[in-house]
Amino acid sequence: MKYPRTSAALGCLIALMVTACGNKTPTDGLSGVVQGTGASSMKSAQEVWVAQFQTAHPGVTVNYSPDGSGAGRTAFADGAAAFAGSDRALEDAEMAAPSRQCAADTTPINLPVQISTIHIIFNIGGVGELTLSAEVLAKIFTGQITNWADPQIADVNPGIALPDLPITPVHRSDDSGTTESFTGALAQIAPATWTEGPVNRWPTRYGGEAAQGTSGVVAAVQQGNGTIGYADASGVTDAMASARYSPDGIATPVGPTAEAASAVVAASPRLEGRGINDWTLELDRTASGYPFILVSYAIACSRYADSHTGEIVGAYLSQVISEEGQNGAVPQAGNVPLSGELAASIREAAATIR
């Protein structure tokens, strides 16, 4: 292994000219490197949290690879990531086979750390407002309604002139937790039309345009005409039009607001039968009138085999769930800050990690 070291030294030398080469003297006790891997929907928020944490603890480096939720869970199970970011909590089978980096006889814990809304963005030549019912939405995304002038859409949008324009539904081409959340909601609100259940890869038979990543969907919707797509809040700008949702088309339509998301989270019970510090939520999407909510979890060991790693992960996740962390991420990720009792409980749980 002579070559790698040589080039490492070379790299260090080049790096020295640019910045100091690692090994900054820590101002407090914490120092070291921690690896996190997971959902790309959490990338923006994690960037903020990592920056906050590294600023407070200059000796620590937290690396967050936005490889994807699945990659994050796999990496956590393999011991290749100290914590994972995931768009869903671990399932029972995954809980039963914990990572070898966790201390013996302990189970991992799931902490909801990022709540965001999934926006249904559209671009229909000048139309600024759109309301969709469960059926209409499911039919649009399954290719059963193909034109914006369809009377079924007009029925739930009285007073809005919709053009005679073919609908191009845009979905993710890559496997994604956002797709899983969105299709999960569809399966819950329109089970008769959306028969695929929650899936992380869009079912090809429903057609539509495929785009890579949240940014790809957003770009495709913006570029096209008559397009509609779904994207988590981190990728959506205020300038974009988002549809509102009304379950049956009669009830007052609700947009992707923080209140709606908070209401869903507040109404969702905690999954029973898991450890005292596990906060897996059984999402009750119908609680607030806006069902497209994305809850992203941090998955960590409750006790790490390596206490040093445990200390850093515990401190990091405490930072993540702190008021500063939750509010600080808002301008970047558009998340809905966790607050109140739930946040306090999760904070307590995070503090027990070591």
Site for other proteins in 119-178 (CB under 8 A): 166, 168, 173-177
Footprint (CB under 8 A) of other proteins, residues 333-352: 333-334
Out of 226, 249, 310, 314, which residue is the one contacting other proteins (CB under 8 A)?
Answer: 226
Footprint (CB under 8 A) of other proteins, residues 11-70: 11-12, 14-15, 18-19, 21-22, 32-35, 37, 40, 43-44, 47-48, 50-51, 54-55, 61, 63-70
> Chain-centre distance of CA 107, in angstroms?
23
Q: Which is nearer to other proteins, 134 or 353 (CB)?
A: 353
Asked if 121 and 182 count as a contact pair (C-beta separation under 8 A), the reply is: no
Footprint (CB under 8 A) of other proteins, residues 71-110: 71, 73-75, 78-82, 101
Footprint (CB under 8 A) of other proteins, residues 184-213: 200-202, 204-205, 207-213
Asked if 61 and 33 count as a contact pair (C-beta separation under 8 A), the reply is: yes
Minimum Å distance from CB 56 to other proteins? 10
Out of 157, 193, 234, 242, which residue is the one contacting other proteins (CB under 8 A)?
Answer: 234
Report in angstroms the alpha-carbon separations of 290 from 31, 296, 335: 43, 17, 15
Q: Which is nearer to other proteins, 53 or 245 (CB)?
A: 53
Tell me the helices (H) and strands (E) count for the chain, helix number first. Answer: 13, 10
Minimum Å distance from CB 36 to other proteins? 10
Count of residues that bind other proteins according to CB under 8 A = 86
Minimum Å distance from CB 354 to other proteins? 16
User: Cα(30)–Cα(8) distance, rounded to whole angstroms?
Assistant: 25
Minimum Å distance from CB 234 to other proteins? 6
Scanning the chain, the segments in alpha helix (DSSP H) are 2-18, 43-56, 69-78, 92-96, 134-141, 151-156, 177-189, 213-223, 258-267, 307-321, 323-328, 330-333, 340-351
Q: Which is nearer to other proteins, 189 or 231 (CB)?
A: 231
Q: Which residues contact 56 (CB under 8 A, 6 or more apart)?
A: 319
Name the strands in the sheet holding 108-123, side by side, starting at the edge strand that comes first in the sequence: 60-65, 32-38, 83-86, 293-301, 108-123, 227-232, 168-172, 209-211
Asked if 125 and 227 count as a contact pair (C-beta separation under 8 A), the reply is: no
Minimum Å distance from CB 151 to other proteins? 20
Out of 27, 195, 237, 352, which residue is the one contacting other proteins (CB under 8 A)?
Answer: 237
Footprint (CB under 8 A) of other proteins, residues 241-300: none
Q: Which is nearer to other proteins, 142 or 309 (CB)?
A: 309
**Residue in 288, 315, 293, 320 with CA at minimum distance from that of residue 304:** 315
Asked if 290 and 120 count as a contact pair (C-beta separation under 8 A), the reply is: no
**Residue in 351, 236, 336 with CA at minimum distance from that of residue 296:** 336
Q: Which is nearer to other proteins, 75 or 350 (CB)?
A: 75
Q: Which is nearer to other proteins, 43 or 284 (CB)?
A: 43
Q: What six digits make up the tokens of 101?
A: 């980096």
Q: Which is nearer to other proteins, 28 or 155 (CB)?
A: 28
Out of 108, 235, 249, 325, which residue is the one contacting other proteins (CB under 8 A)?
Answer: 235
Strands (E), 67-167: 83-86, 108-123, 131-132
Minimum Å distance from CB 40 to other proteins? 5
User: Cα(343)–Cα(177) distance, rounded to whole angstroms?
Assistant: 23
Check binding of 112 to other proteins (CB under 8 A): no
